Structure 1
Amino acid sequence: MDKIGELTVFAKVVDEGGFSAAARAMNLTPSAVSKQIGRLEDRLGTRLLNRTTRSLSLTPEGRNFYDRCTRILTDIDDAEAEVTQAHDSPRGVLRISCGVAFGRHQVSPLVPEFLERYPDVQVEMTLTDSVVDLVEQGIDLAVRFGELRDSSLIARFLARSKRAICASPEYLAKHGIPQTPQDLHDHNCLFFSNLPHLNEWIFKMPDGEFAFQPQGNFCANNGETIHEMVLHGLGIARLAEFLVSPDVRDGKLERILTDYYRDITVPIHALYPTRRHLSPKLRAFLDFLVEKFSPIPPWEMEPGSRS
């Protein structure tokens, strides 16, 4: 088998999690797959996989080699796709999954422009803060926040999200502006009911970091609802800049404790099930999202500068 064939077998073993599964996927025998991996390791002079009767894992060298392999195989697929799909235009139903707040405020407003460019595409969007199984539910693409766990999904970086401590001018006029993070103990702070990692507000203090756990008379399972309550003057919250930046510009919200707040950025990725044989509709939407969110996301742009 040629080198490209060896790379393909190796990548398939890693993707499928074992020799037998890879053999079934490639219509080969397990012994043939095992021999190909053995020859590849012999040729490279290093072990790529740790294997026992029950498990298989990559060695450090195998991890680096796998990353290079997938890029090479992707480039080959992309080159072939450019030829075979050169005359194919995006068409068909494109199924997208986004978080509620980001989907409503950032992705949905872009859909009309995308559909104007590609009139043969139909978009089906699901807004949920739950993690969905893309393959099981037939989702073409999901937009997700946070560091990515090991996954068979393919990720394309879009932007980074920041958060801000904010309140409405009406709330601050009535209850006063906190001058230090400790002052938050005397305020109504809104929090997430189901996302504990978002309920630790970290501040920079002269003697180190101060972690504040918000307490108040309202919590919700999504940022969209908390955002609405903050706009209505219910209390103080820590919310994503993509939600609050327009309100700050319009004077509806005010950032507070900016000298103390430790800015933490969270990556945003577009995820899709496979890097191989991307349909024209998915490739077009991926490129469209990158165009709109990179290198500067819209919530960091000055008003009127968004193309």
Structure 2
Amino acid sequence: MDNYSQLLAFLWTTEHGNFSAASRAHGLTPSAMSKLISRLEDRLQVRLFQRGTRSLTLTEEGAAYLVSARAVFNAMAEADSLAEAFPTRVSGSLRLHTMTSFAKHQIIPWLPEFLAAYPGLTIDVQVGAQFSDQFDQGLDVAIHSGVLPDSTRIARKIGQSRWIICASPAYLARHGTPEQPLQLLDHTCFSFGFNSVWNNWDFLLNGKRITVPVVPKATFAQGDLLRDLALDGAGIVRLAEFHIGQDIREGRLVPLLDAFSADSFEPIYMIYSNRKHLSPRIRVFRDFLEQKLAQSPWNTSGP
């Protein structure tokens, strides 16, 4: 940085003709300006100016250096001009990893609107039930819920969703509606096929928190498959409201055992690698997503 300061001092002195005028124009003292030029000459091992009583003139070496100095200054100015445009330039590819159910029910509905707003941006959406740190492989953003593993990554809460036990009206008409948590043991239930808190069917019974040891008839890696089974009337499932909230509001699924609810709310996080100098493509996606989630009836907390 000191080298660049010396170069600027040389250009300013050349422009104004002496140290006093150059220093006044750029907020330095004549002594400070003179020292910068002297350091530059010492570093280059040449004299750049002939010092006169009232003015300075370039030496032959100074005239040659002026050509290069102006080229360096113009290149720096061009680079700064490009960088200043970065905050408003949204282009390139955004790589996103999230849960299949979240992508399908919370991102896909507004994705065309987002892409139309930012035509220079493309999005690569990768899905998986659990968070996997792939930022070193080029991932930009991850969206996942629940307890995240300890990490140096930045996790920004963007919402909160309730977990709901539910079934279709057709299933309940055939098999009856459970009135007590333990009655779930007599019903056909489905769950996730991996170790997760999502498989804990928790309730408040007589003032105490209990977990009913539901033994699922089948397990699946994706929540959408559990939802499909419930909609088909095959059994009872436990899924996030961001996933099945529309089904409940439209009567396709019926919440069960709400009176025993253990307030199973789960935070949803947007995860990225660094808070500082956030890429414009990440920032606009984050802002757009938070705006949409704030309007969602299932989101009980907002960002």
TM-score, shorter chain, exceeding 0.5: yes
**In structure 2, what is the equivalent of residue 145 of structure 1?**
145
- CA distance change for structure 1 residues 87 and 103 in 2, over 3 Å: closer, same or farther? closer
**In structure 2, what is the equivalent of residue 64 of structure 1?**
none
In structure 2, C-alpha distance between the alignment counterparts of 1:169 and 1:115, rounded to whole Å: 38
**In structure 1, what is the equivalent of residue 290 of structure 2?**
290
Q: CA deviation at 1:88?
A: 3.5
Q: CA deviation at 1:292?
A: 1.5
The alignment partner of 2:142 has SS state of strand
**In structure 2, what is the equivalent of residue 231 of structure 1?**
231
In structure 1, C-alpha distance between the alignment counterparts of 2:138 and 2:161, rounded to whole Å: 27
Written as runs of structure 1 = structure 2, the 5 A alignment for 1:87-106 is 88-106=88-106
Q: Write the letter of the residue equivalent to 2:259.
A: D
In structure 2, C-alpha distance between the alignment counterparts of 1:184 and 1:253, rounded to whole Å: 16
TM-score, with normalisation over the residues of structure 1?
Answer: 0.67
In structure 2, C-alpha distance between the alignment counterparts of 1:207 and 1:162, rounded to whole Å: 20
Cα root mean square deviation, aligned? 2.2
Whether 1:280 aligns to 2:280 is: yes
In structure 2, C-alpha distance between the alignment counterparts of 1:106 and 1:167, rounded to whole Å: 21
Q: CA deviation at 1:298?
A: 4.5
The alignment partner of 2:258 has SS state of coil
**In structure 2, what is the equivalent of residue 242 of structure 1?**
242
**In structure 1, what is the equivalent of residue 127 of structure 2?**
127
Q: Is the 8 A contact 2:241 2:298 kept in 1?
A: yes
In structure 2, C-alpha distance between the alignment counterparts of 1:142 and 1:256, rounded to whole Å: 31
**In structure 1, what is the equivalent of residue 298 of structure 2?**
299
| Residues 251-281 of structure 1, C-alpha deviations (whole Å, 9 max, x = no match) | 1110011101211211111111112222211
Q: CA deviation at 1:287?
A: 1.2
- CA distance change for structure 1 residues 146 and 300 in 2, over 3 Å: closer, same or farther? closer
In structure 1, C-alpha distance between the alignment counterparts of 2:195 and 2:281, rounded to whole Å: 33
In structure 1, C-alpha distance between the alignment counterparts of 2:131 and 2:182, rounded to whole Å: 35
In structure 1, C-alpha distance between the alignment counterparts of 2:87 and 2:180, rounded to whole Å: 61
The alignment partner of 1:162 has SS state of strand
In structure 2, C-alpha distance between the alignment counterparts of 1:298 and 1:110, rounded to whole Å: 15
- Between the aligned residues of both structures, percent identity stands at 36
In structure 2, C-alpha distance between the alignment counterparts of 1:116 and 1:298, rounded to whole Å: 25
Segment of structure 1 superposing worse, 202-211 or 242-251 = 202-211
Q: CA deviation at 1:288?
A: 1.1
- CA distance change for structure 1 residues 207 and 281 in 2, over 3 Å: closer, same or farther? closer
Structure 1: runs of 5 or more not aligned: 1-79, 302-307
Q: Write the letter of the residue equivalent to 2:298.
A: W
Q: CA deviation at 1:137?
A: 2.5
Q: Write the letter of the residue equivalent to 2:296.
A: P
Q: Is the 8 A contact 1:95 1:124 kept in 2?
A: yes
The alignment partner of 1:259 has SS state of helix
Whether 1:215 aligns to 2:197 is: no
Written as runs of structure 1 = structure 2, the 5 A alignment for 1:3-18 is none
**In structure 2, what is the equivalent of residue 161 of structure 1?**
161
TM-score, with normalisation over the residues of structure 2?
Answer: 0.68
Q: Write the letter of the residue equivalent to 2:254.
A: E
Structure 2: runs of 5 or more not aligned: 1-79
In structure 1, C-alpha distance between the alignment counterparts of 2:131 and 2:160, rounded to whole Å: 19
In structure 2, C-alpha distance between the alignment counterparts of 1:141 and 1:154, rounded to whole Å: 10
**In structure 2, what is the equivalent of residue 60 of structure 1?**
none
In structure 2, C-alpha distance between the alignment counterparts of 1:85 and 1:283, rounded to whole Å: 15
In structure 2, C-alpha distance between the alignment counterparts of 1:230 and 1:143, rounded to whole Å: 25
Q: Is the 8 A contact 1:181 1:257 kept in 2?
A: yes
Whether 1:255 aligns to 2:255 is: yes
The alignment partner of 1:131 has SS state of coil
**In structure 2, what is the equivalent of residue 269 of structure 1?**
269
Q: Is the 8 A contact 1:94 1:282 kept in 2?
A: yes
**In structure 2, what is the equivalent of residue 171 of structure 1?**
171
Q: Is the 8 A contact 1:85 1:280 kept in 2?
A: no
Segment of structure 1 superposing worse, 198-207 or 240-249 = 198-207
| Residues 185-211 of structure 1, C-alpha deviations (whole Å, 9 max, x = no match) | 110111111034222211111252221
**In structure 1, what is the equivalent of residue 109 of structure 2?**
109
Q: Is the 8 A contact 1:171 1:235 kept in 2?
A: yes
